[in-house]
Amino acid sequence: MSESSTTNLLEMLNITKKFPGVMALQNVSLKVKAGSVHALMGENGAGKSTLMKCLFGIYSMDEGKIAFNGKEVAFANSKQALENGVSMVHQELNQVRQQNIMDNIWLGRYPKKGIFIDEKKMYDDTVAIFKSLDINLDPRSKVSTLSVSEMQMVEIAKAVSYHSKIIVMDEPTSSLTENEVNHLFKIIKKLQSENVAIIYISHKMEEILKISDEVTIMRDGQYIATKSAQDLTTDEIIKLMVGRDLSQRFPTKINQPGEVILKVSDLTAEAEGSFSNVDFELRKGEILGIAGLVGSKRTEVVESLFGMRSLKSGAIEVNGKVVQNPTPQHAIKNGFALVTEERRTTGIYPELSISFNSIISNLKQYKTNGLFLSDKRVFDDTKWVIDSMKVKTPSQKTSIGSLSGGNQQKVIIGRWLLTKPNILLLDEPTRGIDVGAKFEIYQLINQLAAEGKGIIMISSEMPELLGTTDRILVMSNGRAAGIVETATTSQEEIMRLAALY
């Protein structure tokens, strides 16, 4: 931590924020020192993101005050916050994907030469920022061609371009590999050395204890404690977050894999440079993990099974019968369901209600006389999703975008269960979800497998794969490097296979 970190750069005092039917924040305070990494922790729905949105001018607070750099502030919008040195790297990346990288970084503040945009200066300035952060990307590349982790790096570069004094990072490592996490930590250390403060929101305990100077913990919209990171343990953080001891990270497995439900043979993508010759089997009642480094084409494989990507060759058999999934509609008909990695982009309609988001994958089932939706069936099924997934919401009519990330994910999983799938494809199902909600989702996955569903789960978290699956398929550079038995494998063996090709 730098010398000047003894003074508070930011003080948020007694912040209160109410939404209809919900007290989102109640007298919450946060004090952040210059040049420090201050972790903000709590379960989904604890109010972390709401507090940061009050700072960033996305929400107006009902009570309380904010002092930044010695002056009282109340930013009316995010533009004001950015112009005054407060940046936020959101968990759900809101980028203009058809534009190139440098357009995304300088959008709304292009350098000008007369009345024209100065493309050369924009390019040179982007290259300079990338060089300072050791980011190896072409500023002219389209954002749509980037991986999630690369998009995240672009957002961090954008925050730096504003010469920010505080950067809020919301779940910055949720889609990063270990090497990319280490790179991010180097960037954070560099920013600290320049007296920038980082507010770091994450559910990854080991990261928090490694990178943070101080930790503030929230629960149910209230401030619980602020402690020095070096005085905390994982168990103490969990206890403060959930208000109780959580002795198990993973539930006891109750599923019993049976006969083969899915057989994939010689699956090869139509797109050049994607995956090829992938073979594996999935058993009824089995949880099959997929491991691999970013770029190993794990997501591409499950999206192809679900009809989102075209195949060049290969066969998909369900219960011994060859099926064709040229579109997601065919896949749903054949008993597949997919929970995507990027819920904000491909999983939800953020402005629409929980009810709409619960039934959208299965609309035909709710029609009466082929024209109108049955309000009763819609209500009953939405109630089932909310109750069975333990979704925290004041009402079925609440817009899903106003829920925490974990609650959004629960609605999505519930939606797909309403289609009664036999094969559930889960791409990073607990990304950005707190430790308590993760346990609930692990229990749910375990229960679904025990009921005979075949489950394929992609995860970048090795402990998660080792704690929940029966077998693990390891992908390496678009090829299946091997399948290991979870009970007898190790992180070392999985990493060795992941780097095979």
For residues 213 and 247, the answer to whether their CB atoms sit within 8 Å is no
Joined tokens for residue 126: 């982007």
User: Residue 493 pLDDT > 50, yes or no?
Assistant: yes
Categorize the per-residue pLDDT at 2 as very low, low, confident or very high, splitting at 50, 70 and 90.
Answer: very low
For residues 244 and 286, the answer to whether their CB atoms sit within 8 Å is no
Count of C-beta atoms within a 10 Å radius of residue 249 = 16
Domain segments of the chain as ranges: 3-242, 258-335+422-501, 343-420
Mean pLDDT of 288-311: 93
What CA–CA distance (Å, rounded) separates 95 from 444?
33
Categorize the per-residue pLDDT at 482 as very low, low, confident or very high, splitting at 50, 70 and 90.
Answer: very high
Give the per-residue pLDDT at 32. 97
Top mean pLDDT of 173-182, 185-194, 246-255, 341-350 is at: 185-194
Categorize the per-residue pLDDT at 286 as very low, low, confident or very high, splitting at 50, 70 and 90.
Answer: very high
Categorize the per-residue pLDDT at 101 as very low, low, confident or very high, splitting at 50, 70 and 90.
Answer: very high
Joined tokens for residue 391: 């979704």
Give the per-residue pLDDT at 92. 65
Residues with Cβ < 8 Å from 174, sequence gap 6 or more? 91, 428, 431, 432
User: Residue 38 pLDDT > 90, yes or no?
Assistant: yes
Q: 70-74: list long-range contacts, CB under 8 Å, 24+ apart.
A: none
What CA–CA distance (Å, rounded) separates 468 from 253?
7
C-alpha distances out from residue 225 to 229, 295, 390, 496, Å: 12, 39, 26, 41
> What is the 3-class SS of 125-175, one letter each residue?
HHHHHHHHHCCCCCCCCEHHHCCHHHHHHHHHHHHHHCCCCEEEEECCCCC
Q: By CB neighbour count within 10 A (0-12 exposed, 13-18 middle, 19+ buried), where does 71 fall?
A: exposed
> What is the 3-class SS of 388-431, one letter each residue?
HCCCCCCCCCCEHHHCCHHHHHHHHHHHHHCCCCCEEEEECCCC
For residues 82 and 89, the answer to whether their CB atoms sit within 8 Å is no
User: Residue 192 pLDDT > 50, yes or no?
Assistant: yes
Categorize the per-residue pLDDT at 248 as very low, low, confident or very high, splitting at 50, 70 and 90.
Answer: confident
Categorize the per-residue pLDDT at 408 as very low, low, confident or very high, splitting at 50, 70 and 90.
Answer: confident
Give the per-residue pLDDT at 244. 59
Give the per-residue pLDDT at 137. 93
- Using DSSP, state whether 1 is helix, strand or coil: coil
Fold match, 3-242 / 258-335+422-501: yes
Give the per-residue pLDDT at 85. 92
Q: Kindly report the pTM of this predicted structure.
A: 0.60
Residue with tokens 């309000």: 375
User: Residue 44 pLDDT > 80, yes or no?
Assistant: no
What CA–CA distance (Å, rounded) separates 186 from 133?
8
User: Where is pLDDT greater, at 256 or 441?
Assistant: 256
User: Residue 126 pLDDT > 90, yes or no?
Assistant: yes
Give the per-residue pLDDT at 366. 78
Give the per-residue pLDDT at 3. 39
pLDDT tens readout for residues 358-387: 988 777 777 777 678 888 888 999 999 898
For residues 40 and 197, the answer to whether their CB atoms sit within 8 Å is no
Residues with Cβ < 8 Å from 150, sequence gap 6 or more? 137
Residue with tokens 């949720």: 174
- E-strand ranges in 42-159 read 63-68, 71-73, 86-89, 112-113, 116-117
Q: What percent of the chain has a predicted confidence (pLDDT) above 70? A: 95
User: Residue 174 pLDDT > 80, yes or no?
Assistant: no
Across the chain, mean pLDDT equals: 89
Give the per-residue pLDDT at 4. 39
C-alpha distances out from residue 23 to 45, 225, 241, 377, 390, Å: 11, 19, 18, 30, 18
**Domain 258-335+422-501 homologous superfamily, CATH:** P-loop containing nucleotide triphosphate hydrolases (3.40.50.300)
Give the per-residue pLDDT at 5. 40
Mean pLDDT of 116-133: 92
User: Residue 39 pLDDT > 80, yes or no?
Assistant: yes
Give the per-residue pLDDT at 89. 87
Best CATH choice for the domain 3-242 from the list 3.40.50.720, 3.40.50.1970, 3.40.50.300, 3.30.40.10 = 3.40.50.300
Q: By CB neighbour count within 10 A (0-12 exposed, 13-18 middle, 19+ buried), where does 55 fall?
A: buried
Categorize the per-residue pLDDT at 246 as very low, low, confident or very high, splitting at 50, 70 and 90.
Answer: low
- HSE, CB side, 13 Å, CA atoms: give it for residue 396: 16
Top mean pLDDT of 13-22, 133-142, 382-391 is at: 133-142
pLDDT tens readout for residues 328-346: 999 999 999 999 887 666 7
Report CA 501 to chain centroid distance, whole Å: 27
C-alpha distances out from residue 448 to 380, 427, 431, 444, 474, Å: 21, 16, 19, 6, 23
Alpha-carbon Rg for the chain in angstroms = 23
Residues with Cβ < 8 Å from 364, sequence gap 6 or more? none
